[in-house]
Amino acid sequence: EQMAEQNHSTVTEFILIGFSDHANLGVILFLVFLSFYLITVLGNMGMVLLICLDNRLHTPMYFFLSHLSLLDACYSSVIIPQILVSLVIGRTRISYNSCATQFFFFTVCATTECFLLAVMAYDRYVAVSSPLLYSSAMTPGTRWGLVAGAYSGAFSGAIFRTSCTFTLSFCGPNQIDFFFCDLPPLLKLSCSDTTGIQNLIFFVNFVFMANTLMILISYMLIIRAILRVKSVGGRAKTFSTCASHFTAVILFFGTLTFMYVRSNSIKSLEEDKVVSVFYTVVIPMLNPFIYSLRNKEVKAAFRKVINRIQISQEM
């Protein structure tokens, strides 16, 4: 009977400590995170709407960007509401099933974004290296196939990762010194042998590094293709089409590498919290600005929409 009890989790809920150790900054942090969330949702959903409304943006690059923007809005919605609640009431109780659900959707969003950024790097490579064949290579069927592959791969990985994590036994304590249900703090609470899950982490890191390597190879080939362009103006124009995506890649994969690929011996919980806030809150907010501030087509489409609104108001 004791063995049977040990095979099942005795924890029915977790307590997210979050930022309760910074209670004196609770109001300020709440306003900051609320502002970030509103900007993230409005910016990303505005980008999706803009791409849908303007025919000039109905190209493969903006097709993938619309999915990235939609993903960023969902990504932040999985995490930030939980942060806002914890800042209002301090330590937050979350049921075992809710924790597993949040963990699953966080994994889906993070993994899909990894795959989608790789797809976008491949799209930029095809556009730069074979501009005359770009339209025939990136057909609607190809685009949907690549996006479907990113989502299906992420969902499959999330199901596997979540099932492996939540079949572990959690016998207490149940306090997660973090602001959402993530793998590293959950493993610290498990009373099961985590050797198998550590092997899973190694495999996930391998897939992550392979994905990163694919992006790096794509950009090495892109740079080589840019250097072959004879005119300086042509090089600058070609590079500008890739600069925004490359910036987003560096920010996202840089923070994920710092968070998950570092050795456990040099990890700090406070550092992990700061880095997690950056890639779950800040980067989804920055992406619409990264892709729009230096993009003439997006700016033109935005002005067109504003003019339509002004005309409709005058009528």
Q: What is the DSSP string of 54-82?
A: -GGG-SHHHHHHHHHHHHHHHHHHHHHHH
Contacts of 79 (CB under 8 A, 6+ apart): 102, 106, 179, 180, 280, 281
- Give 233 or 62, the one with higher predicted confidence: 62
Please, are residues 281 and 33 in contact by the beta-carbon 8 Å criterion?
yes
pLDDT (mean) for 49-64: 89
Could you tell me what percent of the chain has a pLDDT over 90? 22
pLDDT score at 166: 87
Contacts of 223 (CB under 8 A, 6+ apart): none
pLDDT (mean) for 274-287: 86
Quote the CA–CA distance of 106 and 227 in Å, as a whole number: 39
- Whether the pLDDT of residue 214 is over 90: the answer is no
pLDDT score at 266: 53
In this predicted model, what pLDDT tens digit does every residue of 159-205 receive, in sequence order? Answer: 988 988 888 888 878 888 888 888 888 888 888 777 777 777 777 76
In this predicted model, what pLDDT tens digit does every residue of 132-147 receive, in sequence order? Answer: 888 888 999 999 999 9
Looking at the 3D structure of the chain, how many domains does it have? 1
Contacts of 140 (CB under 8 A, 6+ apart): none
Beta bridge partners of residue 15, listed in sequence order: 93, 175
Q: Is the bond preceding residue 284 a cis peptide, omega within 30 degrees?
A: no
Quote the CA–CA distance of 207 and 103 in Å, as a whole number: 19
- pTM of the entire structure? 0.84
Contacts of 245 (CB under 8 A, 6+ apart): 117, 120, 121, 124, 291
Predicted confidence band at 237 (pLDDT cuts at 50, 70, 90)?
A: low
Q: List the CATH number of the domain containing 225.
A: 1.20.1070.10
Range of the domain at 273: 2-314
- Give 273 or 180, the one with higher predicted confidence: 180
